[in-house]
Structure 1
Amino acid sequence: MCGICCVVTWCTERAIYDFFNKDILCHLRRRGPDSSKQLIKTASDLPYKCLFSGHVLHLRGLITPQPLKDASDNIFLWNGEIFNGVHVGDLENDTEVMFHHLALCSSEADILSLFSSLRGPWSFIYYQASQHSLWFGRDYFGRRSLLWQFGNEADSGFCLTSVSVYSKSGNEWQEVPASGIFKIDLKACATTKSLSLTLFPWKYSCTEKAVEPIFSNVLDHVSKDLPNHILLVMNESKLCLRAPVIPLNKTIAEASDGCRSTNVSNNIHKVSVESLQGFLAEECKKKLVHQFIDVLSEAVKRRVLSLFRDEDQETRAIPSMSNRKAHVAVLFSGGIDSMVIAALADKHVPLGEPIDLLNVAFMIKEHIKQKGTTKKHTDQEVQLDLLCQESCKDLDAKAGAHLSCFDVPDRITGRVGLKELEAINPSRTWNFVEINVTLEELKKMRLQCINHLVYPLDTVLDDSIGCAIWFASRGEGFISNQGELKPYKSPAKVVLTGIGADEQLAGYSRHRVCFKKYGLEGLNKELEMELDRISSRNLGRDDRIIGDHGKEARFPFLDEEVVSFLNSLPISEKADLTLPRGIGEKLILRLAAKELGLAASTVLPKRAVQFGSRIAKLESKSEKASDTCSRLKSFSVDKL
């Protein structure tokens, strides 16, 4: 994880700092606390000037300060992880590996081939000195944030950065679309005094005849949000990047090759763990579930082992497990997504190393309970609360009893989930971190920094999710030590999150609505759209939020091999929305959880973090999720 920034101007050095101010620098340093460096590049014969700023969170190999510069004057900023596609040795740093490969590229096609081969999240900025070219972009899913801002005039410059601050100047920041890689010919721009972006888009195939209209659609999509004086063009050679995943299988079929799950599903009336067993009795279904477990397990393995661990911690004899340091944390609600991620992490994290389970709760305000919600929403919440209480009836209620105002639904299901994980592996130290947030602290931290991180997104939903993830990933709370709650701050630099499961496996309530209206064909279209827009709706925001703590977000469900595996299956193998909530959505994941030895969590219905953590009720606002959030429009520029 790194904070990267580049400012390009055709004017004076003063113009650079019109874009790059001390507040942006502060946010970048929080992302990369282990090294900060800046470099200014001027062209001797051309009137452009570039500032490169790199801030490194050390996770792999030897610490490598950025920006990197080579003998040919090429400059590189990298915010990413290479998990596959390009070899990175155990002791190597992937920033250096990528820069080395880029220096060997002799053509645009070579650069595109290199980025097409990568597997893992990334954003980058690369100055190619010989061509006076600036390349930049985000990975296929947009798992790493990159924003851009353009000056009022074509010759007034622009800025690229991992994170920004709210601008009152009218020059708004926008997320760089994860539609491909962009290139700017700085020499041509300096000559013509106009700014032109060249796009190299992602495509499943770059050889089909249908490429031309597809290119046109991508151009229209990206250019609609650009200022009028910024020109966006397709590269003349019609080159593109090969998508790292296969297209979605839109086949409409009840089940594959003799699997007749429908007979089982027709007999399911009660949501229970036992009701999943009938599916697993079918050999073909069980085989498919184990294939899914294998590919998801490999994705988790790559994400928990690709990080630096203290050498002395691996070799010394430690008298007490409690002295060990956690390197991996999970955003943990006790729901199906986080439970499966935690169970798989347990298979690969060294046994003597704790795993931190980060569980966030916002203070319950009894006097506003049930207000500002429709009867439909209230009924849904009551149903889920009853299910949580049923699941928790055997729990020891003494732990945390004095903090009952934080016993929100996600705290309750989280404790149940902890018991399940302890049953699967009692030898593991599971640090269940109870993160409790008051209204006063929420307002303070939103004003101080969270709203800048959510920006340029601005809805009520972005506010709720952004605040919940910020407090959770900060990892400051309490853990139980022999029945007593003690203060604890998670030292883990890697934070695993379950995002991507709902989008691929029909986990949201809107998917049921879509299925009822338009059937499986409509559901397929909805799921295809979910991944297409996940970069702009979720991932840039979550990367900025989690990165603010000097931690790196990693997304196992969005591993390229996991996505390709799920894309290869017809929808009927992944979900069955004719079944009740808690069974039908994310069915293949629930079956995988059952095979991993999980229990009550396998049939918990989806509960969004804003409801499970109770942040949505804390400020008692009668708002729609899509409304612009006024609380995000009040900004403080105080130092962090």
Structure 2
Amino acid sequence: MCGIALVLSGGGRVVVAPSAAAAAAVAAVGIQPSDEGKGVTVDELKAALRRRGPDSLGCERLRVRADGTTLGSDGCDCGVGNGGDVGDTELCFIGATLQLRGAEPILQPMVGQSGNVLVYNGEIYGGVHVADDQNDTQSLLSSLESCCSCECHALFRDEACLCCGSVGKSVPQILSTIKGPWALIYWQKDSKTMWFGRDAFGRRSLLVHWPSPDDPRFILSSVSPPSFASNNSAPTVKVMESGEDNDFPESTNMSYWEELPCGIYSIQLKSLEKSGMCMKEACVSEVRRHDWINSSLDELIQWKRKSIVPTVDDLTSHQNSVGDYCLSQSFRNSTEADKNAAYKVLIALRESVMLRTNLNRLFQDDLNKLKDDELAPIAILFSGGLDSMILAALLDQCLDSKWTIDLLNVSFDGQLAPDRISALAGLKELQRISPIRRWRLVEIDTVLTNLKGESEHVMSLIYPSNTYMDLNIGIALWLAAGGDGWVDGSICNIQDGCRYKYKSTSRVLLVGSGADEQCAGYGRHRTKYRLGGWVLLDEEMRLDVQRIWKRNMGRDDRCISDHGKEARFPFLDENVIKTLLEIPLWDIAKLDEPVGKGDKKILREVANLLGLKEAALQPKRAIQFGSRIARESNRKNFGSNRAANQASAGSVEIHQRAR
């Protein structure tokens, strides 16, 4: 996990979002290009990013002259507007690194032999070769350096270049092949093009500040500094024509930061005299959005399932096949089709967990520090529910038995919270199926009234998300990822049975995000099925997957990574998504059956294959309810749960309530 940022300023330029009306928008809001801004400072960005990447922090500063020539790096002194001539555009790259892979430590930003600059936050599990002794950033920079740098790629062409005769791939072609989560900023010197973006499911955060009258700079960052995380609004240059991509809203009254929509983007920093969008107020550099150059990835983005509505024969084959969903019969009475589908998902999930927990690919210096057999290289955000139990059982299969596995469980109601009760039961079941493994349940207990400073800090992490539901989820995730709690040695069978204080040092955390969206785990899925059958259910699930980047992933990534730890999401692996889409919808879920049975039917069958009989019966509970932070938040902010429900507390914006 890393923290990355770019500050683009000066040069008589204003960067605008993809829009034919952008030039008119500049004049409409009265933006004047300037080196100075009232917004976030580079030092504030560094401090926020350093929490994500505690192992190293680096900066590179470049200047693009008015005639298009580029001056070399000036190192880490990334002040705005100091030095340089009028008309120079300054590019300040910041990279904070959490070293997790490779044989040698690296420093970001990385500068290639051609003068290209890369800051990268992500993991590569396929598409670009990463040797066992290499870091992902090194391997990706090597691939990007071989790309064609013809100007046409930044203007209109994403595929291999014909006009210059180059056999090199384009930047969008390389990025489209990556399997795994990523966000990046890449300067291609020869074409004077700034590339940036995030993966198709938004598994890594990247925020954008569009130029405004108060701060005319263009800024990208993994996270917002605390000083710009509440009630900080400014007009932005974003006017979209009807029918264009609605990921960029039409309103011009936006927050200082926004979630950058998933995709690949570029800005070409041509010389000012060659710019075709110059006017009295500014020279406009318009951001271009590029297509994904990968048909299989595009199919996943579209999230289209071939078999949605069952035929009479499909339903007949399932009649009397399942019976009562009890401990002894739950999987025994399934049809062969059910079993085959569950085996396919199990295989895909196991491979996904293996890729994300392969210790041969961890940074060797960190691995060598784990001399004590009580230390755990991998942890799981653990509720004892279906998703986290499956991940725990699969991790047990993928990780050498000499290592301890930390199970991180947060509660705002001590031993009475539903997630604590299910976590204790889940621990016993894991000990039953894998008695030689050391399972360490870390009980992270707190009360909301003791978290004033922490709550304000988490507010800066979830930003630009700003509802009470976002804050409740963010606090629960932030505390769980911190791993600071207690271990009961008597139930974990360690430390002579005593209860002791413990803080997990695991830098890699497995998280169950994406399971509910893909397998119909939410209550609204049952409602949609009741109202519109299989078709409406499929539409709702597709909507959930396609907006997960905005609703969940950026927020969750920022909260977990703030501890210098990396969240990995096995359910959102590309091959897992593909496998689930190949299975008929009626084998994924059967929502005319009771809660805890038909919802996430396919995952319940996977749990049975893993020997997790009790976990296969667990109902869905969101972390804010299972940990009971939502109840405590409702009492604190609305007086009671009843008042909170009447106010639809989860969707209330925090600053609105504060007024």
In which range does the TM-score fall when normalised by the shorter chain? 0.7 to 0.9
Query: Is the aligned partner of 1:130 residue 2:197?
Result: no
Give the distance between the partners of 1:293 and 1:100, measured in 2 at CA: 34
Cα gap change, 1:491/1:13 in structure 2, threshold over 3 Å: closer, same or farther? farther
Q: Counterparts of 1:504 and 1:424 in 2: how far apart (Å)?
A: 27
Partner of 2:290: 200
The amino acid that maps onto 1:463 is L
Aligned 1:468-487 pairs, distance under 5 A: 468-481=476-489, 482-487=496-501
Q: Say which SS state the counterpart of residue 267 (structure 2) adopts.
A: strand
The answer on 1:78 being equivalent to 2:120 is yes
Asked whether 1:602 is paired with 2:610, we answer no
Q: Greater CA deviation, 47-56 or 162-171?
A: 162-171
Q: TM-score, with normalisation over the residues of structure 2?
A: 0.79
Aligned mates of 2:512, 2:587 — CA distance in 1: 20
Aligned-pair distance for 1:250?
Answer: 4.5
2:30 corresponds in structure 1 to none
Matched letter for residue 352 of structure 2:
A
Is residue 2:474 matched to residue 1:466?
yes
| Match among 578, 596, 605 for residue 592 of structure 2 | 578
1:74 CA displacement: 1.0
Question: Which shifted more, 98-107 or 172-181?
Answer: 172-181
Deviation at 1:430, TM superposition (A): 0.7
Shift of the 456–336 alpha-carbon distance from structure 1 to 2, 3 Å rule, reads same
- Cα deviation for residue 154 of structure 1 reads 11
Give the aligned partner of residue 336 of structure 2.
283
Alignment-derived partner of residue 375 in structure 1: none
- Gapped regions of structure 2 (runs ≥ 5): 12-32, 69-87, 154-158, 160-169, 235-254, 490-495, 639-643
Given the two structures, how large is their TM-score scaled by the length of structure 1? 0.81
Work out the CA distance in 2 between the residues paired with 1:296 and 1:255. 29
**Secondary structure at 1:254's aligned position in 2?**
coil
Determine which of 305, 309, 327 is the counterpart of 1:273.
327
Residue 542 in structure 1 maps to residue 632 in structure 2: no
Q: 2:134 aligns with which of 63, 67, 92?
A: 92
- The match for 2:233 is 170
User: Are positions 1:41 and 2:55 aligned together?
Assistant: no
Partner of 1:276, secondary structure, is coil
Q: Which residue is 1:407 aligned to?
A: 416
2:211 pairs with 1:144: no
**Partners of 1:75 and 1:529 in 2: CA distance:** 36
- Contact 2:379/2:408 (8 A) holds in 1: yes
Alignment correspondent of 1:114:
174
Q: Distance in 2 between matches of 1:154 and 1:185?
A: 24
Q: Structure 2 vs 1, CA of residues 630 and 265 (structure 1 numbering), >3 Å: closer, same or farther?
A: farther
The 1:633–1:446 alpha-carbon spacing in structure 2 relative to 1, beyond 3 Å, is farther
Confirm or deny: 8 A CA contact 1:9 1:155 kept in the other structure: no
* Structure 1 residues 486 and 140: alpha-carbon distance in aligned structure 2, compared to 1, 3 A threshold: same
Q: Residue 173 of structure 2 contacts residue 292 of structure 2 at CA under 8 Å; is this kept in 1?
A: no
d(CA) in 2 for partners of 1:73, 1:204: 28
In 1, are the aligned partners of 2:444 and 2:479 still within 8 Å (CA)? yes
Q: Which moved more, 1:304-313 or 1:344-353?
A: 304-313
What does residue 301 of structure 1 align with?
A: 354
Amino acid at match of 2:435: P
Deviations 1:97-137 (A, max 9, x none): 10011010005332111111110000000011112111100
CA contact (8 A) 2:301 2:546 kept: no
Quickly say closer, same or farther: Cα 1:628–1:155, change in 2 above 3 A: closer
Relative to structure 1, the CA distance from residue 532 to residue 256 in structure 2 (aligned partners, 3 Å threshold; closer, same or farther) is farther
**Post-superposition offset of 1:315:** 11
State the Cα distance separating 1:332 from its structure 2 match. 0.4
1:465-544 pair list within 5 angstroms: 465-481=473-489, 482-544=496-558
| Residues 1:633 and 1:146: Cα distance change in structure 2 (over 3 Å) | farther
Residues 28, 610 of structure 1: alpha-carbon distance in 2 compared, 3 angstrom cutoff: same
- Could you say if the C-alpha distance between residues 32 and 13 of structure 1 is closer, same or farther in structure 2, counting changes exceeding 3 Å? farther
Structure 1: tracts of 5 or more residues without a match: 207-240, 364-404, 635-640
Q: Which has the higher mean CA deviation after the structures are superposed, 179-188 or 561-570?
A: 179-188
Percent identity between the two aligned chains: 38
Question: How far apart, CA to CA, are the structure 2 residues paired with 1:519 and 1:2?
Answer: 43
Aligned partner of 2:411: which letter? A
Amino acid at match of 1:196: E
Give the deviation of 1:443 after TM superposition: 2.4
Post-superposition CA distance 1:396-433 (Å, at most 9, x none): xxxxxxxxx44211000000000011111111111100
Shift of 1:7: 0.3
List per-residue Cα deviations over 1:472-507 (Å, max 9, x = no partner).
011000112243221111100111000101000000
Of 77, 101, 119, 1:60 maps to 101
Root-mean-square deviation over aligned CA pairs: 2.7
2:93–2:109 Cα contact (<8 Å) kept: yes
Q: Aligned with 1:444: secondary structure?
A: helix
CA distance in 1, matches of 2:312, 2:517: 22
Identify the residue that residue 400 of structure 2 maps to in structure 1.
350
Contact preservation (8 Å) 1:119, 1:244: no
| CA-CA distance at 1:333 after TM superposition | 0.4
Alignment check: 8 A CA contact 2:10 2:34 kept: no
Q: Quick one: structure 1 residues 632 and 35, their matched pair in 2 at CA, closer, same or farther if it must change by over 3 Å?
A: farther
* Map of 1:32 onto structure 2: 53
2-side partners of 1:499 and 1:117: how far apart? 23
1:252 to 271, 286, 308: 308
Quick one: distance in 1 between partners of 2:401 and 2:301?
A: 33
Matches within 5 A, 1:431-470: 431-447=440-456, 449-470=457-478
Q: CA deviation at 1:569?
A: 1.5
Question: Does the Cα contact within 8 Å between 1:435 and 1:478 map onto a contact in 2?
Answer: yes
In the alignment, residue 540 of structure 2 is paired with which amino acid?
Answer: E
| 2:267 paired residue number | 184
Pair 1:632–1:512, CA change in 2 (3 A): same
> Per the alignment, do residues 437 and 293 of structure 1 end up closer, same or farther by CA in structure 2, a change over 3 Å counting?
same
Task: Give the corresponding residue for 2:8.
Answer: 8
Instruction: Please give the alpha-carbon distance, in whole angstroms, between the structure 2 residues aligned to 1:347 and 1:17.
Output: 53
Q: Within 1, Cα distance between the matches of 2:468 and 2:311?
A: 39
Per the alignment, in what secondary structure is the counterpart of residue 277 of structure 1? coil
- CA shift digits 1:511-538 (9 cap, x unpaired): 0000000000100111111110000000
Q: CA deviation at 1:188?
A: 5.8
Q: Which residue is 1:428 aligned to?
A: 437
Per-residue CA shift, 1:597-633, capped at 9, x if unaligned?
1121111110111110000111313142543342799
- Tell me if structure 2 keeps the 8 A contact 1:493–1:552: yes
What's the counterpart of residue 425 of structure 2?
416
Q: Letter of the aligned partner of 2:383 in structure 1?
A: S
The residue that corresponds to 2:250 in the other structure is none
For residue 50 of structure 1, what is the amino acid of its counterpart? L
Picking from 592, 617, 636, the partner of 2:606 is: 592
- 1:97 is paired with a residue whose SS is helix
Distance 1:586 1:17 in 2: 49
Q: Sort the Cα spacing of 1:519 and 1:244 in 2 relative to 1 into closer, same or farther, 3 A.
A: closer
Residues 1:128 and 1:313: Cα distance change in structure 2 (over 3 Å): closer
Contact 1:182 1:198 in 2 (8 A): yes
